[in-house]
Each structure stands twice: as structure tokens, then as C-alpha cells.
Amino acid sequence: MVEETTHFGFSEIPAAQKVERVRQVFDSVAQSYDLMNDLMSMGVHRLWKRYAVARLHIKPGDKILDVAGGTGDLTKLMAERLEQQGTFAVCDINASMLEVGRTRLADLGMVSGFHWIQGNAETLPFPDHTFHAATIGFGIRNVTRMDLALKEMTRVLRPGGQFLCLEFSHVVLPFLKPIYDAYSFKILPEIGERVAKDRDSYQYLVESIRRFPEQERFKEMMEQAGLSRVKYYNLSAGIAAVHVGVKL
């Protein structure tokens, strides 16, 4: 019997090992996660997240799921938009990331209505048709089976519920690509080593971005998972993209 494999950055590994390998990466970077995103996006990820949340059709009282929501950035923005009048479930496979997010939001007085759950995006611990919206920011490229994660997030949405994914994507301007590649593969791992003392984790994260499907292909994957009216918005010439869809 041939063992199923998957990618871990540019390497091929047994699929059964990926969860633990990804867990080790995020255990390592949890305390410097915001710094990591600042380095990887040159600080622009904060604007991308605000843009993404503005694409959501959410209202006070909604139940919202943030998958791979660890440090709580998207959850914080959505809660502020709803003036904390909603229920927010943050689900992440990594306990270290959840602890960072829980502490951060508690320090801001965001306690009531927030639930922090350790769980796998491919087997979400929620009933069918639970949430008005489900989001995932900079997380789906780290799951073992993206198709399963998309189906799971679709499953837990209510009919009419909205799915949103914010992720590093593929540059659409040819002249920018070599500049971005040089920054990603030569400069960023070096900065990771000097600033966070963790070159390997940053190297993996850069490689995982390049293995992520292009915008049109990811749109097709969302449709195959059962989402409709799927569209995407390129950010910073495709360095990142927001994909949205609706469960009918």
C-alpha cells in the first residue's frame, strides 16, 4: 500500500506527519506571529485584514467562526465592527496560538461571547448549519487537505452564510514577481533568523505560499466544496487575495 504524501513547503512528507510539523512551526513563532506577518507582508497585512472584514456581510447577534484564528486578529476586527454584539468561536489546532489570542483580546476587555477551541480545520467540532460566517486568515495553506477544510467550513455554515479566506497568493504583475521572490527567498529567511532566531520556520512559510493554489484554482476548489457566488479580490497586486463565497 502506497503511503499518502503531502507537501510541507517544497518538501514531500507523509501526510500523517504534516499536522505535527505545522504545530511545531507555530509553537515556535506564536510569540512573534505579528512580527512574522509584518515581515512577510512588509506591514501591509493589517490593511489587508481590515479590507477582508469589510467584505463580510455580518450583523450584530451573528455567530461567527474564525478558523486558524489563533492570535485573534480577524476576530478582534469583526467583534469591533459588531460592537461585540455576537458570538465568536476561534478554532485553531495550535494551543500556543490560542493562548496568545485569548490573552490579547482579554487585555482589551473582549471576554464575553468569545470561545477559544483547539480543533482541526479538517474535522471541525461543530454541528451542521451553525454559523452565519466562517473566516480563515493566513491559515488554510497549512492544513493537510485543503479540500476537506473547505468542505468542513461550508458544512458548519447556515444556508446563506458567508465564507471568507484571506491568504498570501500569487503576484499578477510580471515585473513585480522577481522582486517579490528575491525578498521572499533571500531576505525574509535571513530576517527570520536574525530577528526571531528561527530561519527554518520562516523558510517553510515562504515555501508554503508558493505551493498555495493560484487565485482561479482556489476559486474552483471553493465551488467544489459547495460554495456559490465565489469571487476574489487581489491585494497588493496579488501578494495576497481575499476569496468569498456563500452557502446556498
Beta bridge partners of residue 167, listed in sequence order: 241
Question: What is the spatial distance between Cα 207 and Cα 4, in angstroms, rounded to a whole number?
Answer: 20
Question: What is the spatial distance between Cα 33 and Cα 94, in angstroms, rounded to a whole number?
Answer: 13
Percentage of residues of the chain with pLDDT beyond 70: 99
Question: What is the spatial distance between Cα 22 and Cα 30, in angstroms, rounded to a whole number?
Answer: 12
pLDDT class of 200 with cuts at 50, 70, 90: confident
pLDDT in tens, 59-84: 999 999 999 998 899 999 999 999 99
Higher-confidence position of 183 and 194 = 183
Is the predicted pLDDT of residue 103 greater than 60, yes or no?
yes
Q: How confident is the model at residue 28, as a pLDDT?
A: 82
Higher-confidence position of 42 and 151 = 151
Q: How confident is the model at residue 1, as a pLDDT?
A: 55
Three-class SS state of 232 = strand
- Grid cell digits, residue 55: 467584505
CATH number at residue 47: 3.40.50.150
- Grid cell digits, residue 140: 488554510
Q: How confident is the model at residue 138, as a pLDDT?
A: 93
| Average of per-residue pLDDT across 141-165 | 97
Is the predicted pLDDT of residue 2 greater than 70, yes or no?
no
Percentage of residues of the chain with pLDDT beyond 90: 75
pLDDT in tens, 218-236: 999 999 999 999 999 999 9
| Average of per-residue pLDDT across 174-198 | 87
Q: How confident is the model at residue 189, as a pLDDT?
A: 85
Q: How confident is the model at residue 27, as a pLDDT?
A: 83
* Number of structural domains found in the chain: 1
Q: Which domain holds residue 175?
A: 5-246
Report the DSSP pairing between strands 5-8 and 131-137: unpaired
